[in-house]
Amino acid sequence: MSVLELDDVHRDHGGGAALVRALRGLSLTVLPGEFVAVMGPSGSGKSTLLNLAGGLVTPTRGRVVVSGTDLTGLGATARAALRRRSIGYVFQELNLIPSLTAAENVMLPRELDGVRTRTARADAMSALSEVGLVGEAGRFPEEMSGGQRQRVAIARALVGERRLILADEPAGALDSNGGEEIMRVLRARCDAGTACLMVTHESRHAAWADRVVFLRDGLAVDSTEPAPGPEILLEKR
Amino acid sequence: MSIRHSLLALLSRGPRYGYQLRTEFEAATGSTWPLNIGQVYSTLGRLERDELVLRGGQDEEGRSVYSLTERGAEEVRQWFATPLTRAERPRDELAVKLALALTSPGVDVRAVVQAQRAATLRSMRDLTKLKTTAEGPAWPLVLESMIFQAEAEIRWLDHCETTLLHTAPPVPAHDAAPPIGEDSDERARTR
């Protein structure tokens, strides 16, 4: 089963003379373990696509299905709950809380999920170990490098049962080595079964994905075919 | 790429058989540039003629050991000391192809740009995948050089496309002609 499915999705902003058709019939499927990058010029609909996939906005027309649940059929509360449980976000601006340590930042979504502190901490440590930062668990954001902070943000996106990561320029503010560390972490997560949809304008980062979708004027104009052979796709299903 | 200088550089590590040079060249570059043994021996022949290498006597299997002459060693030093100029890498078929696409009737330049961008990204993805398993200091370095060159090509294509948006009117998709070039058949299939 796909983790994310967009089916003929349209999204308009504004109305009348100021109507902007941000997406004009986009279909996209992301399977478990698949890493999909989205590229396109400014105004091509990349951010709208991520916001729709994350249930932050609803489509004007079409369906958005996350882990088998049609987001368009849900009320705002149910959508928020699904969003919190199933989806992790990584942004260029990392939004770590400065007065919390790395571990506490990563625990936060689990505590919001309602799990006990002890479990949340264990989950946080396991997510931090995936991004190679167990040793930094007790540090505050300002005591870490930009690359380390971004890896904490990824750990926070991964913590618990989240099977879909939405990333908006996750390595945009980092130098080339820092950016590569982030890509290695995301790649490893996908190889372990998580699905990832990443918007980027850096082709070097997009090259880590299995597939690149090119957006222009709200439409997918082209795509590189999936990288692995059919036997790998069979394993994933 | 200069096979000539690469072989001289390998010989600066010490005398080698021809087949060893091939193996070591491929090991250093992670088989990114396959070299056939014929190329190795014809290059060694020219280097011997130019007195940059010396061919030793043959062993019982008829193989000769090659070693660097003093002139050859100087040539290697010069090679490492001299930066490459663009003129030594003249192959810019892509720029020529796009220039021709712009001025040829019925060619959708944006489709040409997009087909190239997708193809370059695919090869970048393959190189990135190779890099994750690459061992030793030399091979990742070569792969990264190729990745950064591919990135530069994509940035240039993006730039071309943005410029075109301001100059050329869009060509309707239905009469898009295949890109010009010797590999246009392959392009047409992949689109």
For residue B189, is it within any domain?
Answer: no
| B145 and B99 part of one domain | yes
Mean pLDDT across chain A: 88
Å between A208 CA and nearest CA of chain B: 6
Q: Flag whether pLDDT at A234 surpasses 50.
A: no
Q: What is the mean pLDDT of residues A109-126?
A: 92
Q: Are residues B13 and B78 in the same domain?
A: yes
Surface-to-core class of residue A149, CB atoms within 10 Å of its CB (0-12 exposed, 13-18 middle, 19+ buried): buried
**Domain range summary for chain A, segments of one domain joined by +:** 4-236
Average pLDDT over residues A43-60: 90
- Hey, are the CB atoms on B148 and A187 less than 8 Å from each other? no
Q: Does B100 share its domain with B164?
A: yes
ipTM: 0.78
Q: Rounded to whole angstroms, how far apart are CA atoms B88 and A75?
A: 64
* pLDDT score, position A15: 81
Residue A232's pLDDT band (cuts 50, 70, 90) = very low
Residue B40 included in any domain: yes
State pTM to two decimals: 0.75
pLDDT given for residue B89 in this prediction: 54
What pLDDT was estimated at residue B169? 56
Q: What is the pLDDT of residue B139?
A: 84
Same domain flag for B9 and B83? yes
Tally of structural domains, chain B? 2
Q: Is the pLDDT of residue A235 over 60?
A: no
pLDDT greater at residue B29 or residue A210: A210
pLDDT at residue B93, rounded to an integer:
73
CB of B155 within 8 Å of a chain A CB? The answer is: yes
Residue A32: pLDDT band with limits 50, 70, 90: very high
Are B55 and B106 found together in one domain? no
> Looking at the predicted structure, is the pLDDT value of residue A3 above 90?
yes
Nearest by CB: B118 against A208, A222, A227 = A222
What is the dotted CATH code of the domain comprising A4-236?
3.40.50.300
Taking chain B (191 residues) in consecutive chunks of 10 residues, what is each chunk's mean pLDDT?
85 91 82 83 95 89 91 89 65 73 78 88 92 83 91 90 69 46 42 37
For residue B42, give the CATH number of its domain: 1.10.10.10
Residues of B in contact with A207 (CB under 8 A): 121, 124-125, 127-128, 147, 150
pLDDT tens-digit profile of A84-94? Answer: 888 998 887 76
A204·B148 Cβ contact <8 A = yes
* Domain that includes residue B22, residue range: 3-87
3-state secondary structure of A39: strand
Residue that wins the pLDDT comparison between A180 and A92:
A180
More confident residue, B180 or A74: A74
- A144/A1 Cα distance (integer angstroms): 38
Contact B31, B73 (CB under 8 A): no
Alpha-carbon distance of A226 to A37, in angstroms, equals 11
Residue B182 maps to a domain: no
Q: Say yes or no for a CB contact (<8 Å) between B148 and A203.
A: no
CA distances from B61 to A119, B53, B58, B64 (A): 70, 21, 7, 9
**Residue A41 at interface with chain B, using a CB cutoff of 8 Å:** yes
Closest CA to B145 of B124, B122, B129: B124
* Amino acid B188: pLDDT: 42
Residue B186 lies in a domain: no
Which residue among A184, A212, A221 sits closest to B121, beta carbon to beta carbon? A212
pLDDT score of A84: 82
Residue A145 has pLDDT above 60, yes or no: yes
Among the partner-chain residues A204, A222, A225, the one whose CB lies closest to the CB of B114 is: A222
* pLDDT of the residue at A230: 44
Domain assignment present for residue B185? The answer is no
What tokens appear for A2 in the block?
């796909």
Quick one: pLDDT at residue B91? 55
Q: Which of B132, B154, B162 sits opposite A41 (nearest CB)?
A: B162
pLDDT given at position B191: 37
Query: Which residues does residue A166 pair with via DSSP β-bridges, in sequence order?
Result: A89, A197
